[in-house]
Structures are given as C-alpha cells and as structure tokens.
C-alpha cells in the first residue's frame, strides 16, 4: 500500500491498522496459561481456569484458546458463550489440536445446545374481565344426616395418600437417577480407566456422574422418609380403629349379692 493511499484512507476515516500477530513470547505465555487452566479444571476450580483461558485468548487468540475457554464456560453453565466459542473453534479446519479433539468438542457443542433453556413463550394479552354477574340463588338443602356414633376412622386419609405418593415418586426418581449415574460411571471408566483422568471428556463425565448420584441419594432419602411417615399414619389409624367402641357389662360377687357395672 503506497503512502499516498494510506494518507487518503486516513483522511477519509476509513483506514484501520491491521492487527499484529502475537509474538513468540505471547504465544509461549498463552500456552503456559492454558496448561495452568487445565490443571485447575482437574481440581474443580472452573472459575479460576476460565479466567486464565480468557487471558490466553486475549494474549494470543487461536482455535485452541477459544475451545478451552468454551469448555470452561460450559462447566460454568454459560451456554450462550460456550456455543459461540465452540462454533468458532470447530470452524477452524486444519488446526492440529482441533482435529485431534474434534469428537470431544462436537459432543460438548451438542450438550450445550441441549442444555440451553428454551426461549420464553410469547406474552398473552389478557382480555378485560366482564363485570361479575350475580350468582343464582341456590335452593336450600336439608342438613346432611348425622354420622353414626363411634364410626371407625378411615385408614387411607388424604394425608396418607399424599405421603405415599411422595414416597413413590422419590423412590422412582432415585432409581432412575441411580441408573443414569451408573451409566455415566461406565462411560467415564471406558474413557479413563485410571483414578485420574487427563481428558476433558472424562472430567466432564465424572462431574456429571457425581451430580446425578447426589440427586439419586436425595430421591431415595425423600422416598424412604415418605414411606416411613405413611406407614406410621396407617398404624396410628389402625390403633384408633382397634379401640373398643361398644358398651361393656360386668358382674362382681358381693357378700350380700352381686354388683352389676355397665361401661358405655
């Protein structure tokens, strides 16, 4: 570009100085930041790892820095940012690191797309309410018949039914989540058979499996507590029903005859 062309572009406000490529020192510093961030992710320090990845991406942007930043954002549930960065990284054809980890990045992008919340439904315009109409007069009904005396209590009261339903739901949820946690553990063992896992896919599977297992434990705890409560309520109702409700009479001998006692 000639000096006259640059001068004309500057005067017209259209000239923008092209960005300089990162220096070798910047690239080396970015590699060190990426290494530290990956180590922090293995320790569960996602927020600190994300900050290091951002520094590396700003210092020497590359498909690898954007991919590592996207994986940390995914773990922090920043799904919009993670999806945008993953798409940019996967579009960089020919990058050796991207090609080596393309399958893992594709799985991460699919997970982010599934995990993103659905867009809010359009707001409904409420129509103005019509003026209230007087309720029609109801005919007088005779009073309900009195309950028979000493009616035995019902065993399946609403409280028992609701508690039993909660217990069943908790046990069912705990079973389903427990099966999912076992499946995630098998997947993690298939990727990383050792105790420590150096791959992003194994770390993500291990973290998801722990969360699902914790949710399964909570479901089982709710189900067991509900079952104990429902059983206690049923036993109390049965105990109340087993109490004598009919009159009792007894005869006792006395020196001058007999004594008759009647308990109602």
**What does the pLDDT look like over 100-114, one tens digit per residue?**
999 999 999 999 999
CA 136 to chain centre: 49
The token duo for 243 is 């109490």
Confidence (pLDDT) at 125: 61
**Is residue 216 pLDDT above 90, yes or no?**
no
Query: By the 8 A CB rule, do 102 and 94 touch?
Result: no
**What does the pLDDT look like over 38-77, one tens digit per residue?**
999 999 999 999 999 999 999 999 999 999 999 999 999 9
CA-wise closest residue to 225 among 172, 170, 157, 175? 170
Confidence (pLDDT) at 183: 87
**Top-confidence residue, 5 or 73:** 73
**Is residue 4 pLDDT above 70, yes or no?**
no
Task: Parse the chain into domains and list their residue ranges.
Answer: 21-115, 158-241
Range of lowest pLDDT (144-153, 161-170, 183-192, 224-233): 144-153
How much of the chain exceeds pLDDT 70, in percent? 70
Q: Tell the CATH topology of 21-115.
A: 1.25.40
Beta partners for residue 249, in sequence order:
262
**Is residue 247 pLDDT above 50, yes or no?**
no
Count of beta carbons in the 10 Å neighbourhood of residue 77:
11
Average pLDDT over residues 186-205: 74
Axis crossing angle, helix 79-90 with helix 63-75, rounded to the nearest 10: 150
Strands (E), 90-168: none
- How would residue 120 be classed by pLDDT, with cut points 50, 70 and 90? confident
- How would residue 84 be classed by pLDDT, with cut points 50, 70 and 90? very high
Query: What does the alpha-carbon distance between residue 215 and residue 177 come to, in Å, rounded to a whole number?
Result: 7
Across the chain, what does the average pLDDT equal?
Answer: 77
Query: By the 8 A CB rule, do 166 and 226 touch?
Result: yes
- How would residue 94 be classed by pLDDT, with cut points 50, 70 and 90? confident
**What does the pLDDT look like over 21-39, one tens digit per residue?**
788 888 889 899 999 999 9
CA-wise closest residue to 69 among 118, 117, 108? 108
**Top-confidence residue, 198 or 228:** 228
Average pLDDT over residues 70-87: 92
3-state secondary structure 174-232: HHHHHHHHHHHHHHHHHHCCCCCCCCHHHHHHHHHHHHHHHHHHHHHHHHHHHHHHHHH
**Is residue 15 pLDDT above 80, yes or no?**
no
| Residue in this structure with the two tokens 């087993």, named with its chain if needed | 242
Count of beta carbons in the 10 Å neighbourhood of residue 1:
7
Torsion sign (Cα): 62, 65, 71, 72: negative
**Is residue 180 pLDDT above 70, yes or no?**
yes
């Amino acid at each position: 570009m000639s000096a006259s062309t640059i001068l004309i572009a500057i005067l017209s406000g259209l000239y923008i100085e092209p960005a300089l490529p990162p220096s070798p020192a910047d690239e080396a510093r970015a590699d060190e930041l990426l290494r530290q961030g990956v180590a922090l992710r293995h320790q569960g320090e996602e927020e600190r790892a994300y900050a290091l990845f951002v520094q590396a991406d700003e210092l020497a942007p590359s498909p690898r820095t954007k991919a590592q930043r996207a994986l940390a954002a995914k773990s922090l549930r920043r799904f919009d940012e993670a999806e945008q960065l993953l798409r940019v990284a996967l579009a960089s054809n020919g990058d050796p690191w991207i090609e080596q980890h393309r399958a893992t990045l594709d799985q991460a992008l699919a997970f982010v797309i599934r995990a993103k919340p659905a867009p809010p439904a359009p707001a409904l315009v409420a129509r103005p309410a019509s003026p209230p109409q007087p309720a029609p007069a109801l005919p007088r009904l005779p009073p309900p018949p009195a309950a028979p005396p000493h009616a035995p209590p019902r065993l399946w009261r609403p409280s028992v039914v609701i508690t039993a339903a909660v217990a069943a739901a908790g046990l069912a949820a705990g079973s389903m989540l427990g099966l999912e946690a076992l499946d995630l553990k098998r997947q993690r063992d298939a990727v990383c058979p050792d105790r420590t896992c150096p791959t992003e896919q194994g770390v993500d599977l291990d973290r998801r499996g722990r969360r699902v297992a914790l949710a399964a434990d909570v479901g089982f705890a709710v189900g067991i507590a509900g079952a104990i409560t429902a059983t206690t309520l049923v036993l109390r109702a049965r105990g109340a029903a087993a109490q004598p409700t009919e009159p009792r009479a007894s005869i006792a001998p006395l020196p001058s005859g007999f004594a008759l006692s009647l308990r109602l």
